[in-house]
Amino acid sequence: MAEDKTNPQFTLYTHHTCPAAFKVAHILSLLHLTYKPIYITITKTTKDQKEPWFLSLNPNGRLPVLIDHHHSNHIIWESASIITYLLTLYDPLFTLHPSSPFLQSEVNSWVALQVSGQGPTIGQAFWFGYWHSEILPSAYNRYVEETKRILGVLEGRLEGREWLVGNKMSVADVGFLAWYEEAFMVDIEIEREFPRCWGWIGRMKVVPEIVEGSVGREMIAPRKLWERGVEE
């Protein structure tokens, strides 16, 4: 089992609702690397990620953070950096990335789209839907529509193919999964609107290591701001 609280290779600082952290957990599990998850507290009144002890791990004050106990407790932060580190040191057989530099350049392009486009965009939809200090449906709708635009790019890419690059699942695919599992929370019906993406997501979700890396995840949406009011 990848999650190991007794003698882990890694410590992963995470949160039960953080897609970026579960993206890393999926990669750890797929590479059969053991880790201990530490779930920090993030509420309106308690923000562990802004405390000095956490900022000493990640000066940007964000999740995830990974500590590699096999390499002098080396600290890595930002999910893209963490995944690059893991593939470089722990995937010598190219399980999740191709050996060809040309195919790798394709993988890198999709990874870049995920970290610069998909994650931030759907993240902003969550923010304006649930947490902003004002009710701004226009901002929410803008990010929902951009999330759909990126889904449309992926829908086109998946025509006639099961995976984004090559003929097997790679980091290019896995990076998108954790965020899109929560698309229902921002009023996007992937199954109806993007059926190829829905099938692609389904193929990943049943992989045993993905299931294993999803342990501890919570996807419970509160009512949106305009349903409950910003002060609730």
Residue whose pair of structure tokens reads 């349903």 in the numeric block? 227
Give the Cα-Cα-Cα angle 161, 148, 227 (nearest 5 degrees): 140
State how far the Cα of 171 lies from the Cα of 97, in Å rounded to an integer.
6
Q: What is the pLDDT of residue 5?
A: 60
pLDDT along the chain (232 residues), means of 10: 75 95 98 96 88 96 97 97 98 97 97 97 94 92 98 98 97 97 93 98 98 90 73 55
Cis upstream peptide for 64 (omega within 30°): yes
Q: What residue ranges do the domains of the chain occupy? A: 10-90, 101-213
Identify the CATH homologous superfamily for domain 10-90.
Glutaredoxin (3.40.30.10)
Decide: 155 and 198 in contact? Cβ < 8 Å: no
Decide: 85 and 144 in contact? Cβ < 8 Å: no
- For domain 101-213, the CATH class is mainly alpha
